[in-house]
Structure 1
Amino acid sequence: MDISSGEESEFSDSEISEHKDKPYAQLRNGTLKVKYPGGIFKCPFCAGKKKQNFKYKDLHQHASGVSKGSSNRSAKQKANHLALTLYLENELADEAEKPVKVVVTPITEENKLFCWPWTGIMVNIVKESDDANDFDNTEYWLKRFSKYKPEDVELLWDAEKRTAKAFVRFNNGLIGLKNAMEFEKAFEANRHSKKEWSASENPSGSRIYAWLARANDFESQGPLGDYLRMNRDLKTVSEVEQEVAKTRNRPVIELATEIDMRNENLDDLQSKCNQKIMSLSKMTEEIDSMHRSFCEARRKLQHHAQMRVNELLAERERAHAEVEKLRKEHELRSKEVSKKVAQTEREKQKLDEEKRKNDVRNSCLHMASIEQKKADEGLLRLIEEQKEAWKKVVELGRQLAAKQQLEMEIVGLKGKVKVLKHLGDEDNTAVQEQIKKMNDELEAKMEEMGDLEDMNLTLMVKERESNDELQDTRKELIKCFLDKSSGRGIIRVKRMGEIDMKAFNDACKKKFDSEEAEIKASELCSLWQEKLTNPKWHPVKVVAVEGALKEVINEDDEVLKTLKAEWGSGIFDAVVAAFMEMNEYNPSGRYVVNELWNFRDKRKATLKEVISYILQDMKSQKRKRR
């Protein structure tokens, strides 16, 4: 919005022409826009006042009126609108509205009289019985001659309604005259003009003739002349042009007068608006001054409040520091007191702990001695039983050797008897006596053989009982080792047929991280341990080794080949070793069994080795106690 401020009154009205160049340059370079689409023009210097859409002529009149306006217009406003006036005249002169020029066929006789409003006359309109054209309808004729833009058509029929004449009325202006002349020339071109109609005394057929009504038609006798005299006037083209000019200029004059009046009203409104603006400016300045005063007062209050808060915070920090100092002093004193109390309590607890440990140690030594005595008694009993078993085994072996010797003697005697029977004469007394003697000796040997068999049977029963006792003893020793074995001795319990987990851990650590490797190794080991218990999987083959048949691992087994290819030889060897142990110690049950094992020699431990290991361990425990 243009405001009559100090900036606008920097120059006077006499300097307006000197200050028009700057806004003129802005209009030329496009900084200020005047022309908009649709042939609309706007004043860039009055954009804030009211939405104004001008035509070129109206905007030019507005710019010219403001540049020469009343004294309440500022010099800057007049300079801006003067620049706009020059810009419209110099740069946008082509946009000026051009007056409508009617292209009329040159009329050589402008003073000739025509029937007005311009009227075309059509004659010889014949209506046939079988004619499809609706001659009675005015719309038919308007549509037929629509290219000439007629406004109305009136028909005059004869008494029998067979033939008719028509009057075609055109626009009252010069454009209507142009259309009427083109209408006439069209019929002239087709040789259907008034001249041809007058030349033909009795025209045949339904050929229509037409022409533009003039003074001679107006003055003629008959229906044509009567109609024209009643409904038309005679005027020359010049008279019509003058009337059109008067009609056109009258609203322009009226509009120009109204525009001037409105401009004056706008000037008054502008003056009032400027006064309001000045009043608003003063109010705005007062509001700004009050706002600045309020901001300053608020800033001082905030500053004062901030200083007070800082003082309170400083006092709080000082108080907090004093409290903290007192708290630390109290804590030091408390620690000293607690330390002294703790030392006393610790010494008391230490004495009680030593006493308790001594009691526990004495109780443990007592219990250990009792257990040691029981173990010694059990071990001595096992040793005695072992000695008796060995004695029985030795006696059984001696009896078996005697039996075998006796069987050989019996066989030898039988052979001798048979030889004597074949070599000697049956009647020879000496031979018969010799045979009898041998038979008696043979019977004696047979009786002795029977006694030996009875004794052998008895010894075999006792041997079986001894073996059962030895197996029971071995089982008891396995239980004892499972309960007390430290896992570091030479003689320990081994689970025959159990896969070594270490091989799976080593293989999985190469493929996975530490946590996942441990889980994967456990899953994989459990899977293959379960596969070992499956009796349907038996990856062995029988081969001859030094003349004897022996079962060995079949390395062509598909399951083992897949295992070795996927996880390597470490897991493969662990699975094969576990399978061979299970196949040796429990081939029918296919489950893991416990066995006393000599881990130094990597073989099954004998009872003698186990007993010797236990005795040695007992001696070392006695030395430690001492």
Structure 2
Amino acid sequence: MLWDESDSDGDDHSDSDSEDTELYEEIVWEGLRNKTIVVKNGDNTYRCPLSPGRKKQSYKYRELLAHATGVATGKKGPVKAGGHRAVMKYLLAELGDRPMIPQAERILYLDQVVPKRKGRATRLLAPWMGILVNIDNSRTNENGFRLAPGPAEIKEKFKEYKPERVDVFHDFRGHQGTALLTFRSDIRGLEDAQAFEHSFAATNRGRKAWWEEARSANRDLYGWQAAEKDLESNLGRLAKHIKNYCDVKTVKDMVQENERLNKQIVEDLVKIVDKKNDMVAASHTQFVTLQNMVADVEALRLKAEEEKRNMEAQHKRGSWQSICVISQISLHITSRTE
């Protein structure tokens, strides 16, 4: 329902808070929300749907908002006040956070160049590993063999990153000052490996800083997450170790492999549960069979006892009859003798 205010601009009312005002506000608000009443033109200008008789049907956002706010004060009656309140509320609530951008600016913005995605994902070493270099190996024993902290000490030092294993590397001169930290192979292990790398990168002691030619000699530790590029690095036996014992995979590869392994584990567990259920069912069947056999044996025992009692009763009756016959014969013989 629309109202033409062009014929009654001179009306003066002050009942904007009446029930009629609230009723018409609710009606227009519902129409605006379900798009049966429209305030936006196709050319991104605005019009007042409650003033179809007005010559001007093309407002800027702020112009229409000012118009709706003025009429909503109630000077033109509760019908127009309520309807324009709804228009004002709709403009502020639904369109207020979307300021108009000139068409030319929007075209320029949409035509801006978007950076291309890098062609290949970073390939890391699996399981997730961290490389630690520049470990202090300046001390030597009496034979000149270089000494440095071992796996247990390094693992304790980096316990907040939860390494599962630490390997250190030696040559004929002793400790090479390098170590390899192995983390869990799941997503949490990846998070630990990345945290290990970020902690060094934050203090400019990561891979890039270590291989800089201008790096001055120092006694700081350097570390980073092991990746494909480390396979050909000049890290002595550590490089040989990761080349021989590690796989090169992307994060996606590792996630898919873990999903496959987890799926296989679930399938194996399902098979085990099914097998156990079959065993339980078989045991139950055997139990029922044994229970029936026990019941049959018990029935036979009761029947045998009943037959035994019957035979004993018959035997007693037969014995009594025999005694009676013998007694009668004895009496008969005695009487004849006398």
TM-score range, shorter chain: 0.3 to 0.5
Structure having the larger proportion of residues in helix: 1
Q: TM-score, normalising length from structure 1?
A: 0.26
Q: TM-score, normalising length from structure 2?
A: 0.45
Structure with max Cα Rg: 1
